[in-house]
Structure 1
Amino acid sequence: MNKIFIYAIILIFFGACSDPWDDRYQTGNDSDKALVQLLENDPELTDFAELLRTSGVAAEITGNKSYTIWAPTNTALQALPASIRNNSEALKSFVRNHIGFLESFSSEATEPLRIKMLNGKTNTFDGNSFQSSNASVNLTTKDILAKNGVIHKVNGILEPKENIWEIMQQEASNATNSYILNMLDINPITNVSTNYFQTEIVDLSNEDSVYTYIMLTDAAFENFKEELKVYYKDTLPEGEILKAYTLGVAKDLALKGAQYDELPSKLLSVDSVEVYFDQANVVEQINASNGVIYVMDKFDFKLSDKIPNIIIEGEDFDAVSGSRDRVSIRPRSWASGGRDVLVRGHGTASFHLTYHVPNANSVKYNVYWRAVNDDYIPRDNEQRIAINEVTNGTFGYQWVVRNTFEEVFVGEYEVDSYGNLKLLLTSASVTNNDWNTMVLDYIRLEPVFE
């Protein structure tokens, strides 16, 4: 009797855990019918079936491929605007916006799924609702099986929206959009142009991710540009714009994720810079298929975020003035990055390591170093930093005091033009190996905003 009882429990368990696809092969089940046929036979979905036929999309979902349809009911479709219903291209995009590639069952959406739709957009499915941008409709009936996919009935419609990049192109007269759309690299051989905002910052036409984009009013954008211009001084001819400046201006106008309601006061740009967001500065909100655009009349930021510190690790030198045999990269638990560099026994006056620093802004920098003599020699040693040439005397020699782990102020240096800077860590100008040792954990350049 115990065995019979156990077998009965097992049979009940397996019956309760049947997969939706198991029903496909039961005699008389509607799952042997195609998606379009099921829609036409359902009295709640006949209007959507008609739109499928009218738009020509019905022919796209035949064959061996599988699809998922989030089908608006006849009642829901009463809200479809005439501007979509009477426009063939708009209607086709609308219908495709409710059909996804492959099968998506409600039981699989334990976490929200990003679904690629036939119109190229990406919508979200969480098992109970279906979402496009900030719009959402609820499922009234789930997991209706067909031989080439699955149908969910929904109680509303999702009008397809244009993505952020498409909206920027439509609003090209706006100064912010015009500036970004004209960030072009032109191949001198093929004469083909590419937009380096899209390739080097973020592609705002990408439908697989969501973003928040700040579109400043013309006056706000001009003020924003002028505030940054002084930090990108260059020697280009009049009328030519430094690429680094355009990137510096534009890179933090695109933010991570789509923020629609109750925005926090600080957001992260795609470049991981903290951006201050004041709802009071919002002039207009535009929802796009891959995020949201905020038109704003002011852009708040900290200069220390836009013009950051520059850290040069001691072990990341680019050149050595003499033999590398005398240069040791040491693992140290207390060091930045876990390593520092030690140079000793080289027998050369003014032996130096060269560091090429790219993208230094045109600003005054406070220069610091961390150089730790952790008893590698039983005395203090002298060293200095030279700028661009080893003979440069901007900074004098400083003592590296034994067992001092604190950062040390070296001096100030004004960078005249944006671009590359060369620093040379230089030993004492003596050949005596007892006195020409040098060591470096890192150099830090801190911009000074006056």
Structure 2
Amino acid sequence: MNRNNKLLIVLLTFSIVLNACEKERWDSHDKITDPQLQQNLWQTIQKNPDLSLFSQYLQQTGYDTILASAKTFTVWAPTNEALKSIDPSWIQDTSKLRQLIANHIALTRFTTDIIQDSIRVKTLDGKNIIFKKQQVENANLIEKDLYSKNGILHIIDQPLIPRMNIWEYLNTAFAGSLQQQYLQSLMYSYQDPDSAVQIGVNPLTGQPIYQPGTGIVTRNRYLQKVNISNEDSSLTYIILTDQAYQNEKNKLQVYFQDTTSSQTDSVTQWNIVKDLAIQGIYDPDHLPNILYSANDSVIYHLDKSAIISTYRASNGVVYVMNNINYDLSTKIKPIIIQGENFYDRMDPTKSYSIISRRNPITDSIFREFYMANYGLASYWIRYPRVLNSIKYKVYWVSMNDVQTGNFAMKLAFRAHLDTIPQPPSSVTFDFQFPYTTVTPNNYSEVYLGEYNQNLYGLIDIFLVGNNTTTNGNNTILLDYIKLVPELN
């Protein structure tokens, strides 16, 4: 072995020894020296004499085993003194005790150093709690950010009583109220094929046959539209006193007249409740001048003096109110029907176009339904819409920059037809405006007249071409139709 190779071996050996020493030094540095970090959360809580009552409840509910597992948790543990103030009903009922204890535990680590102002934390009972640097909900942090082997412990001076969500509060505190009774009437059940037990197949249809009584699922039509039971929501919700609720029914029912009083009542109530949820949580002392309903953008002007009580729910805040103020025009809205959004037409074999144009006055781009040179008289396009029982002022915009000559069209109305009679040209109308001449290059709304709708419901609105087969005189061209309700 030559001298150079010997030198290389010496250097390599020295490097290995040096690296081994360095690794041993850092391994020693990284070793857990805090005994607290060698204990899991259950052990940490169990050894704290001021948490003995909480420790006892953990054992009673089985959460001691959970907090001893390999998963990571955050626990807000009330002191013995804090737990003495709890209503005995939370302790005596096993299911309620489990819910209570679960409301003090969350998955993963939550330390105060990650908080700017506050954060929402989902606990093991599915509720969200508000965690701040010095508080969780209304409880103060006595000790905070105590690390253990599998999570973080905070010690607090009040128990975290689970809050009801808005739906639970409505059905508990206001059971039997007009608002609650109507919302409960929207419950329905159906058989869910995914959870039902299949016992055969119909030999005629090939459809599965399910065992009666299996897979029955209960739903609520209101919650499907406005889910005030969702724990992850952040809502401001209005519960009306019975008198306020009745006042709203009296005010709105004129716009929802139906063939029977019971149907009028049901539709009116739906149009009250559908807009009582507002996105976001608002302090009653700092209510904005304008608030928008979560469902249909109704504009509210809530008066603090009309709030008779407040409840902080797990998914928002509830105001119990004896009066509500809103812009009626945002509940009973104008109806705008775009020309291209038609349902059907008299003869689908005839070609049509959706053309894009620029309005030279506003410089905006718009789209129009356009038919020309199709050779039929009184050709119609149908637009079904739900109308309120009210008088409407009716307008259209037909921007004729496609031909130099005039043409005429009209609007007609009738009760909705599921099936058009044959031939389609034989459709009769309940009401129709006279033909209106469309002149070239008029980009303004044209007032057609008033239409009085007696009953709330689905109505067919027809755009009808001129009663002539002469091409150029029977052109159909529509940007939009607008119906503006005349509100009381």
Do Structure 1 and Structure 2 share a fold, with TM-score over 0.5?
A: yes
Matches within 5 A, 1:144-183: 144-170=146-172, 171-183=174-186
Residues 175 and 323 of structure 1, relative CA distance in 2, 3 Å threshold: closer
1:233 aligns with 2:257: yes
Task: Indicate conservation of the 8 Å contact 1:372/1:440, yes or no.
Answer: yes
- Does the Cα contact within 8 Å between 2:387 and 2:456 map onto a contact in 1? yes
- Aligned-partner residue type, residue 104 of structure 1: F
Alignment-mate amino acid for residue 221 of structure 2: Y
2:321 maps to 1:293: no
Q: What residue in structure 2 maps to residue 373 of structure 1?
A: 400
Of residues 37, 58, 67, the one that matches 1:61 is: 67
The answer as to whether partners of 1:130 and 1:137 remain within 8 angstroms in 2 is: yes
Q: Which one is further off, 55-64 or 415-424?
A: 55-64
Deviations, residues 354-400 of structure 1 (Å, cap 9, x unaligned): 1111x2111111111111012x1012321111213565662011122
Distance 1:337 1:423, change over 3 A: farther
Map 1:102-121 to 2 at 5 A: 102-110=108-116, 112-121=118-127
TM-score (norm 2): 0.78
Paired with 1:354 and 1:144, the residues of 2 have a C-alpha distance of 69
Tell me what 1:344 maps to: 372
Report the Cα offset of residue 441 of structure 1: 0.7
For residue 261 of structure 1, report the CA deviation from its aligned partner: 3.2
Distance 1:111 1:324 in 2: 64
Larger mean Cα displacement after TM superposition, 264-273 or 115-124: 264-273
- Within-5 A mapping of 1:21-420: 26-42=32-48, 45-73=51-79, 76-77=82-83, 79-81=85-87, 84=90, 88-110=94-116, 112-131=118-137, 136-170=138-172, 171-187=174-190, 193-200=218-225, 202-236=226-260, 239=262, 244-262=267-285, 263-271=287-295, 272-323=297-348, 325-334=350-359, 338-357=366-385, 359-374=386-401, 376-388=402-414, 389=427, 394-420=432-458
After superposing the two structures, state which structure 1 stretch, 189-198 or 433-442, moved more.
189-198
Q: What are the superposed Cα offsets for residues 248-281 of structure 1, whole Å, 9 maximum, x if unpaired?
A: 1211122222323312343222212112211111
Distance 1:387 1:47, change over 3 A: same
Tell me: CA distance 1:286–1:110, structure 2 relative to 1, closer, same or farther (3 Å).
closer
Tell me, in whole angstroms, the C-alpha distance in 2 between the residues paired with 1:99 and 1:435. 75
CA distance in 2, matches of 1:261, 1:449: 30
Q: How far did residue 147 of structure 1 move?
A: 2.4
**Matched-pair contact (CA < 8 Å) for 1:24–1:32:** no
- The DSSP-based 3-state class of the residue aligned with 1:49 is helix
Q: Give the aligned length.
A: 420
Kept in 2: contact 1:372–1:441 (CA 8 A)? yes
Unaligned stretches of 5+ residues in structure 2: 1-28, 192-211, 415-426
Per the alignment, in what secondary structure is the counterpart of residue 430 of structure 1? coil
Distance 1:168 1:205, change over 3 A: same
Match of 2:479 in 1: 441
Distance change in 2, residues 1:43/1:185 (3 Å): closer
SS at match of 2:284: coil
Q: Name the amino acid aligned to 1:225.
A: K
Q: TM-score, normalised by structure 1?
A: 0.84
* Secondary structure at 1:332 match in 2: strand
In terms of Rg, which structure is larger?
Answer: 2
Q: d(CA) in 2 for partners of 1:324 and 1:408?
A: 30
Return the letter of the residue paired with 1:296: M
Q: How much does 1:107 deviate?
A: 4.0
Q: 1:325 to 1:35 in 2, by over 3 A?
A: same
Structure 2 vs 1, CA of residues 241 and 362 (structure 1 numbering), >3 Å: closer, same or farther?
closer
CA drift at 1:186: 4.8
Distance in structure 2 (CA, Å) of the matches to 1:117 and 1:224: 38
Residue 311 of structure 1 aligns with an amino acid whose one-letter code is: I
Moved more, 265-274 or 240-249: 240-249
Residue 219 of structure 1, CA deviation = 1.7
CA RMSD for the aligned pairs?
2.9
Partner residue, 2:468:
430
Contact 1:313 1:336 in 2 (8 A): no
Identity of aligned residues (%): 33
CA separation of 1:264 and 1:28: change in aligned 2, threshold 3 A: closer
